[in-house]
Amino acid sequence: MTPARYLARDLARSLVGGTADRWRHTTAVAARADELAVTVPADDREVLVAAAWLHDIGYAPEVADTGFHPLDGARHLERLGWPPRVCALVARHSGARLVAAHLGLDDRLDRYPREGSAVADALTHADQTTDSRGRRVTVPRRLADMLERHGPDSPNARVHHLRGPLLLATADRVERRVGTRS
Ligand SMILES: [Fe+2]
């Protein structure tokens, strides 16, 4: 049976592979998730890396619907029959619930349960330590870039006072897990 990460990579490539920066970011987040896989139970490593490949497919024009990429990506995966856990990890990555509440999409996002696990943390941290062009960055740098790229009125900026601390706390947890395994 083909491991989930390869199916995920192929699907992601078909949807966002044509957008150079998006694809560089996606491949780098998947590589980073693979590095951070030491922080999750062995049985969860495949799902972590698969979710990393898939986390931004909601940006693809053929997938975009509400315009909120974590939700659109999760709904697309659900339609394709991906496991509910993968759909939920994609739906909830990188503090998406806070942004969804700002957008009035929280009811729809809440169909996807929050995992609150080392896997969810590692996925978010992989995304938040990889910039929009695939380069490794710190979480504060990534947040500063986000505010600059999207502007002060963007949904992410509007919830930055809540989302920033959440992402930094996630980073602390992941780095502590990395530390105990090196
Ligand atoms: Fe991302």
Whole-number pLDDT of residue 145: 95
For residue 182, name the pLDDT band (cuts at 50, 70, 90).
low
Neighbours of 38 (CB within 10 A): 14
Span 53-64, pLDDT tens digits: 999 999 999 999
Task: Give, as residue ranges, everything with CB less than 5 Å from ion ligand 1.
Answer: 56, 127
- When pLDDT is averaged across residues 132-159 and rounded to a whole number, the result is 95
Domain coverage including residue 139 = 4-180
Ligand 1 midpoint to CA 56 (Å)? 5
Q: Two tokens at 44?
A: 């969860």
Query: What backbone torsions phi and psi does residue 136 show, to the nearest 5 degrees?
Result: -70, 130
Ligand 1 midpoint to CA 126 (Å)? 8
Neighbours of 158 (CB within 10 A): 15
Whole-number pLDDT of residue 2: 86
Residue 41: which of 122, 125, 119 has the closest Cα?
Answer: 119
Span 1-52, pLDDT tens digits: 889 999 999 999 999 999 999 999 999 999 999 999 999 999 999 999 999 9
| Mean pLDDT of the residues in the chain | 97
Whole-number pLDDT of residue 73: 98
For residue 180, name the pLDDT band (cuts at 50, 70, 90).
confident
Tokens 């619930």 belong to which residue?
97
**CA dist., res. 114 & res. 93, Å (int):** 9
Phi-psi region of 124 (alpha: psi -120 to 50; beta: other; left: phi over 0): alpha
Ligand 1 midpoint to CA 169 (Å)? 18
**Domains of the chain: total:** 1
Query: Could you tell me where the DSSP H helices lie in 55-159?
Result: 69-80, 84-92, 96-103, 106-109, 118-128, 139-150, 155-158
Ligand 1 midpoint to CA 93 (Å)? 9
- When pLDDT is averaged across residues 97-108 and rounded to a whole number, the result is 98
Q: Alpha carbon of 67 to those of 7, 62, 99, 141: distances in Å?
A: 25, 11, 12, 25
Q: Are 123 and 51 in contact (CB under 8 A)?
A: yes
Whole-number pLDDT of residue 122: 98
Q: What percent of the chain has pLDDT over 70?
A: 99
Ligand 1 midpoint to CA 55 (Å)? 6
- When pLDDT is averaged across residues 76-105 and rounded to a whole number, the result is 98
- When pLDDT is averaged across residues 127-136 and rounded to a whole number, the result is 97
Ligand 1 midpoint to CA 131 (Å)? 8
Q: Two tokens at 51?
A: 């979710």
